[in-house]
Amino acid sequence: MNYSIIADAYEKIESTSKRLQMIDLLVDLLKITPKKIIDKVIYLTQGKICPDFIGLEVGIAEKLAIKALSRASGRNQSQIESHLQKSGDIGETTFKFISEKVQSTFFRRTLSVEQVHETFTKMAKTTGSGTIGLKISLLAGLLSDASPKEGKFLIRTVTRNLRLGIADMTVLDALAISYGGGKINRSLIERAYNISSDLGEVATIVAEKGLEGIKEIQVKIFEPIRPMLAERLSSPEEILDKLDGCCAAEYKYDGERVQAHKKGDQIALFSRRLENISSQYPDVIDIIKTRINAQDAIVEGEIVAIDNQTGELLPFQELMHRRRKYSVKSFMDQYPISLFLFEALFVNGKDLTVENYNIRRETLENIIVNNNRVKLAKNLKTKNAQELEAFFEEAIANGCEGIICKSIGKESIYKAGARGWLWIKYKRDYKSEMTDTIDLVIIGAFYGRGKRTGTYGTLLLATYNKDIDTFETVTKCGTGFTDEDLIKIPKILKNHLIQNKHSRVSSTINADVWFEPKIVLEIMGAEITLSPIHTCAINSIRKERGLAIRFPRFTGKYRSDKNAEDATTSKEIIKMYQRQFKQISNLMPN
């Protein structure tokens, strides 16, 4: 398949801001894609070469890309750099320099998707001395054969600037329409994705074998399962009510979620975002190797930083010291951890995601060999609201965030990739209704004045509306940032700067600058109100009104463990608003 076909499709996708149109364009592209390379087309369209958990990334620094372009176009680097400064878009700059190339198109070889994918993979895999030179030559080779349009998208991909806005959910919709018999069957395809986390694999199977093939997709060791997530409520009574009168409550440890895969002595660890984090936690690898008594297993738990002297649990932020590639060993001693396991998803060939809570927990108990570094998450089965409240207080006193109350009914399966009512979290913040922390996505910013001249004054933040795969503005936040944050945030955001509002963002407010929705911050709100300007949950409570967070403050916690799609949803804000309303009306005289 010629790469030009993809480049043409990207051009069309880029020019639309309507999600439905984007799906149609993707459907058109998938239909003309030969089935055996549909996985490659899906990866490339998301700016990748393989699923995230493999950990192979295309990506080179802009400087190196410029060198490659210089070689391919015969123009010197300073000419390219000065044009880039004006255009601000390496794609456009590449388009111009390839267009002006003197060499006749007669000598150009046609670029195929397979060749592009193979070259990107080679680039990602090169290591050791000479890596940089080899990467530049490989990219220059592609650019020499590229048309201006192809060059534009190739270079955007390798510099991580291909921002077509095609989210996983958009791909799933497009697959359901093109090969799955229509959107009505999306949930089946989504389930396959939730247990394999590999959109390319799911695409190949649905394209080649249809829905029957999809039904056969199984849980596999070393393919992470997308995590099950919890809803939230603010009182033990409500929780018990929702869970048919009884539940298994577990401590909600405040650390980093990990999904550990074990096959004999081979171990891999995946984060909440399903990145491979094995290299950060050699101690956890060791725990899984020696303390899980099963040949094959997939278990889930929370890695928590502990105080070296007292053994007490420390807050999540302490774990950030372990987010590093080098000198992990020395940081391991300085910042020791404990592992609290709470789920068994697969053990010795048996898929436990379809089993109920009791069976999963019992299996977990049977395979874990406790010591002071690995334990089962503490739990309590109860029907009694007071007992639940006491357990919650105990969890807080022991350094946890609160509790997670899990359904123990017949239907209490592990719902991969879904936030649902089988798990309900009860955190300390929810006790006083408007000190909830929520996780919001940065989608725009306004320039600062006075002390903040030259940096951003306020950030435009959004919730995620899962139903329509859109980010909806909910507040402007300029409080809670330290001087360090004010330097750090623009640096992080620079990589996500875009010219116009992102196609998946809904905003009536005009920000000074726009970002692709990527970065998630934890925010503490004071009150939720109806809003004529914010688009969060618009029309849900009242016509032409959205919801807004008043007096937002950054808590200092960068939720780098969350994707934008994992941010607080608009639906959650509606629920919080209604709860707050209920509480206020309880205080009013009848």
Active site residue 557: no
Stretch that binds ligand ATP, among 205-213, 249-257, 259-267, 481-489 (CB under 6 A): 249-257
Does position 190 interact with ligand ATP (CB under 6 A)? The reply is no
Interface positions, 487-516, toward ligand ATP (CB under 6 A): none
Least gap, CB of 413 to ligand ATP (angstroms): 15
Candidates 40, 48, 67, 252; catalytic one: 252
Tell me how far, at minimum, the Cβ of 276 lies from ligand ATP, in Å: 17
CB of 285 to ligand ATP, least distance (A): 19
Binds ligand ATP (CB under 6 A): choice among 190, 201, 250, 565: 250
CB distance 92 to 499 below 8 Å: no
> If DSSP codes are grouped into helix, strand and coil, which group holds residue 82?
helix
Our CB check for ligand ATP shows the closer of 121 and 560 to be: 560
**Beta strands in 63-154, from DSSP E residues, in sequence order:** none
Binding of ligand ATP at residue 253 (CB under 6 A)? Answer: yes
* Distance of alpha carbon 487 from the chain centroid: 24
Looking at the Cβ atoms of 95 and 464, the one nearer to ligand ATP is 464
Residues of this chain, 337-356, that bind ligand ATP according to CB under 6 A = 342
Helix (H, G, I), strand (E, B) or coil at 229: strand
Subset of residues 403 to 422 that bind ligand ATP, contact rule: CB under 6 A: 404
Contact 62, 90 (CB under 8 A): yes
Which residues 6+ apart lie within 8 Å of 377 measured at CB?
Answer: 250, 251, 253, 301, 302, 340, 341, 342
**Secondary element (H or E) of residue 257:** strand 256-263
320 near ligand ATP, judged by CB under 6 A = no
For 340, phi and psi rounded to 5 degrees?
-115, 110
Residues in contact with ligand ATP, total (CB under 6 A)?
14
302 is a contact residue toward ligand ATP (CB under 6 A)? yes
- Does the protein bind ligand ATP through residue 230 (CB under 6 A)? yes
Burial classification of residue 289, based on how many CB atoms lie within 10 Å of its CB (0-12 exposed, 13-18 middle, 19 or more buried) = middle
17-25, 103-111, 250-258, 321-329 -> range binding ligand ATP (CB under 6 A): 250-258
Q: Determine phi and psi for 427, rounding to 5 degrees.
A: -110, 160
Q: Is 557 in the site for ligand ATP (CB under 6 A)?
A: no
Q: Is 67 in the site for ligand ATP (CB under 6 A)?
A: no
Phi/psi at 204 (5° precision): -60, -45
Asked if residue 425 binds ligand ATP (CB under 6 A), the reply is: yes
Which residue, 60 or 549, is less far from ligand ATP as judged by CB? Answer: 549
**Per-residue burial over 256-286, b = 16 or more CB atoms within 10 Å of its CB, e = otherwise:** bbbbbbbeeeebbbbbbbbbbbbebbebbbe
> What is the β-pairing status of strands 229-232 and 419-427?
parallel
Residue 155, number of CB atoms within 10 A of its CB = 30
Which residue's CB is nearer to ligand ATP, number 23 or number 352?
352
User: What does residue 530 show for φ and ψ, rounded to 5 degrees?
Assistant: -70, 150
**What does the buried/exposed string (b/e) look like for 216-255 if buried means 16 or more CB atoms within 10 Å of the residue's CB?**
ebebbbebbbbbbbbbbbbebeebbebbeeebbbbbbbbb
Give the whole-angstrom CA distance, residue 333 versus residue 322: 11
Q: Determine which residue in the list 101, 272, 360, 534 makes contact with ligand ATP, applying CB under 6 A.
A: 272
State the nearest-atom distance from the C-beta of 252 to ligand ATP, in Å: 4
Of 73-81, 180-188, 245-253, 544-552: span binding ligand ATP (CB under 6 A) = 245-253
Q: Which of 377, 441, 489, 523 binds ligand ATP (CB under 6 A)?
A: 377
Catalytic machinery residues? 252
Contact residues toward ligand ATP (CB under 6 A) are: 229-230, 250-253, 257, 272, 302, 342, 377, 404, 425, 566
